[in-house]
Amino acid sequence: MARDQKKSGNAPSRPQIDKSDYREQLHALQVELVKLQKHFIGHDDKILVILEGRDAAGKDGTIKRIVEHLSPRETRIVALGKPSDRDKSAWYFQRYVTHLPTAQEFVLFNRSWYNRAGVERVMKFCSDIEYDEFMETVLEFEHMLVRSGVKLLKYYLDVSKAEQKQRLKDRETDPLKQWKISPIDAEATKLWDDYSVARNEMLSRTHNPTTPWTVLRADDKRTTRLNLIRDLLTRLHYDGKDHKVLRTDPQVIFEYDETYVQNGMIAP
């Protein structure tokens, strides 16, 4: 039996969706995604979706449901590993540029250049100078992409400390999830507060009208996936859109605002 959904701070908990109902809703949304793909192929659109969040926030599973029935020729998932020595000596954004979408492409970044504001910052994989340079230039980079015609969407999956701890523990015993285990996992909960500080600074400094952050309360995987897909489809234009299946839950997904850090909607 699936675990009950947990609370994030003072925010109200949400009832967990039934598996059969989830599958029915997901199917309807995946039909909409196929409509979207047909449209962006026909109109030479360039779509880039960034998914960020703590370890075990549910990024892999969410991306899997998005791309499950899309054409692999026009859909790409980018999950870059540890930077090489050459990458470290190059302009920070350089290794990401080669993976940006061209016309008729839908690209999803499973973590992105915001690694510098999260893992690299907390684990001290970058210097203070490198971090400051990133924070001062990242919006210029993103705005340049938008001006060039890239449709850029940024999502942050926010998981509670208790849920993250349980998911990381599950990885240790599930033989199908062994590939997800990394040395950084052991530090994820130990450095929880440091990651919270880094997350809050990242969101507050890089949220803006042109490339805003959309936050999801991600303790329940099913509602997270459904609401992210709905929001994505709402923000992008395509023919034959079925608005009836695109209604999001504002208790699960919302545009970033500092008050959500203060009232517990974003996990402390």
Are the C-beta atoms of residues 264 and 8 closer than 8 Å to each other? yes
Task: Please indicate, yes or no, if residue 24 is contained in any of the structural domains.
Answer: yes
Lowest mean pLDDT among 7-11, 99-103, 196-200, 206-210: 7-11
Q: Which domain holds residue 34?
A: 19-262
Predicted TM-score of the model (pTM): 0.92
Q: Pseudo-torsion of CA 240, 58, 82, 108, nearest 10°?
A: 0
Domain count, the chain: 1
Task: Please indicate, yes or no, if residue 1 is contained in any of the structural domains.
Answer: no
Task: Please indicate, yes or no, if residue 5 is contained in any of the structural domains.
Answer: no
Q: Distance (Å, rounded) from C-alpha 161 to C-alpha 92?
A: 30
Are the C-beta atoms of residues 121 and 198 closer than 8 Å to each other? yes
Q: What is the DSSP string of 63-113?
A: HHHHHTTS-TTTEEEE---SPPHHHHHS-TTHHHHTTS--TTEEEEEES-G
CATH number at residue 120: 3.40.50.300
Model pLDDT for residues 235-263, shown as the tens digit of each residue: 999 999 999 999 999 999 999 999 999 99
Task: Please indicate, yes or no, if residue 268 is contained in any of the structural domains.
Answer: no
Task: Please indicate, yes or no, if residue 8 is contained in any of the structural domains.
Answer: no
Task: Please indicate, yes or no, if residue 75 is contained in any of the structural domains.
Answer: yes
Q: Give the three-state DSSP class for 155.
A: strand
End-to-end distance of the chain based on CA atoms, in angstroms? 28
Model pLDDT for residues 24-58, shown as the tens digit of each residue: 999 999 999 999 999 999 999 999 999 999 999 99
Instruction: Record the tokens describing residue 107, joined without a space.
Output: 């690209």
Closest C-alpha to 80, from 123, 111, 119, 49 = 111
